[in-house]
Amino acid sequence: MPRYVDKEERRRHVAAALHRIAAREGLESVSIRTVAAEAGLSVGAVQRDFGTKDELLRFALREMLANVERRFSEIRVGPGGLSFAEGLRRVLTDLLPTDDERLAEARVWSAFYARAAVDAGFADTLAELDARARAALRSAVGWAGEQGELAPGQDPDALVELLLVLVDGIWLSAVRQPPGASLDAQRAAVAAAVAAVTVEGGREARRG
Amino acid sequence: MPRYVDKEERRRHVAAALHRIAAREGLESVSIRTVAAEAGLSVGAVQRDFGTKDELLRFALREMLANVERRFSEIRVGPGGLSFAEGLRRVLTDLLPTDDERLAEARVWSAFYARAAVDAGFADTLAELDARARAALRSAVGWAGEQGELAPGQDPDALVELLLVLVDGIWLSAVRQPPGASLDAQRAAVAAAVAAVTVEGGREARRG
DNA sequence: CTCGTATCGATACACTCGTATCAAAAGGAG
DNA sequence: CTCCTTTTGATACGAGTGTATCGATACGAG
């Protein structure tokens, strides 16, 4: 075969170009042509790598989800790791638009999210992510319960569902902020969420 | 002037057509032509009523926000009204996709929300809504504090921010549900939110 | 009634869209 | 080197886009 190139690497390069356009101008400005130009490729090259625009979008969605999941998988809650409260705080804080990259990510997320409303394939992919997040949260909340970290009167399963919608809310709220706005409100929301759900210090607090 | 017609009424009729299309196929399928066809009008009529597509979209956004605000304004928390916990529960429950109309509304909301990420005019309109919601919540939370309804250790201002992102999260989460899915998870999230933020019964519970 | 004007619906225009096609190029196999 | 296959970039095509234009239409004023 002539012209040895790393196909997967280039697919990721194209997906990154799509993410930049979606963050800057929205999904409506994403076309084969605009993406190819942003990636520095010709239309034909993008067509061969992805075949159809739908497959390009699907790949870009999965690529983004993989990035987010990889980041979150490094936040380990449990024995030998973080307390539940600290883990929760880190997850939520990590989503805040603290830099341009995070803001761009939130914008892309909002665009994909809206598309999931009318594209069953997108909705399915999001549902899979949801299932994994639910499982991880269930485990973390279970451990928090054992450690006495949960505020009294909380049903663990219901709490998991609350945290799931809370993550969406925090992440997406970045989208409506005017540029350069302060993050104080969102930081306050994170602090309030942690405060409402946990009892400070968990077992240690109850020991001391 | 010939052809007496109620202009504002027809603008709302056209906006409703836009909402239906956006809920069914997304904002990308909204064009002057598709909206005109859905509304049973000609392209020229829609053009005369709105001039430009951007103005049509802006009107449709404001129209939707007005509907939601009108609904919420009927939920009155405070002296002579509902308890904070009950009001919060009603607001959050009202957003759930309990019927097709609510589901459609959530889908339209997600589309507009995503557009606000890249359209400053949309973002401004959402920011105004945010300011009004923040004021209403601040008042409700203040009253809840006086009534002893708030769970201990809550900063009222931070709690307001938490509730704001929670509303977004609950509402938007409808979008990723497969059709016909159960609402149990979202109802659980609402219950968990109310439980985490308030102490059951408020003053009454502390008296009894 | 007639007239004048505000509204209408159709069409035109200059794009952009996703996709298909296809000649030119490019590099490993022999 | 010569082939031969894969990859590339350009172009073609039909459809759909926002908007402008402009006769036909329909009504209220006189």
Closest residue in chain A to residue B161, using alpha carbons only:
A189
How confident is the model over B136-156, as pLDDT tens digits? 999 999 999 999 999 999 999
Using the predicted structure, report yes or no on whether residue B165 has a pLDDT greater than 90. yes
- Cβ distance B141 to B164 under 8 Å? no
Nucleotide nearest to B28 (CA to C1'): D17
How confident is the model over A73-126, as pLDDT tens digits? 999 999 999 999 999 999 999 999 999 999 999 999 999 999 999 999 999 999
Using the predicted structure, report yes or no on whether residue B30 has a pLDDT greater than 60. yes
How confident is the model over B49-81, as pLDDT tens digits? 999 999 999 999 999 999 999 999 999 999 999
Residue of B162, B170, B177 lying closest to A193 (CB–CB) = B162
Q: Residue B182 is encoded by which pair of tokens?
A: 């159960």
Residue A7: pLDDT band (50, 70, 90) is: confident
In the block, tokens 């900063």 appear at B155
User: DSSP H helical segments within chain A, as ranges?
Assistant: 7-25, 32-39, 43-50, 53-73, 84-95, 100-116, 120-146, 156-173, 184-197, 203-207
How confident is the model over A25-48, as pLDDT tens digits? 999 999 999 999 999 999 999 999
Using the predicted structure, report yes or no on whether residue A205 has a pLDDT greater than 70. no
Partners of residue B150 on adjacent β-strands: B198
SS3 string, B11-25, reads HHHHHHHHHHHHHHH
Domains and CATH numbers, chain A: 1-59 (1.10.10.60), 75-207 (1.10.357.10)
pLDDT of the residue at A207: 41
Nucleotides of C under 7 A from a protein CB: 4-11, 16-22, 25-28
How confident is the model over B125-141, as pLDDT tens digits? 999 999 999 999 999 99
Contact A158 B191 (CB under 8 A): yes
Residue of B27, B119, B188 lying closest to A158 (CB–CB) = B188
Residue B106: pLDDT band (50, 70, 90) is: very high
SS3 string, A88-140, reads HHHHHHHHCCCCHHHHHHHHHHHHHHHHHCCCHHHHHHHHHHHHHHHHHHHHH
**Torsion sign over Cα A129, A135, A136, A141:** positive
Mean pLDDT of B42-48: 96
Interatomic CA–C1' length for residue A51 and nucleotide C19, angstroms: 9
Mean pLDDT of chain B: 93
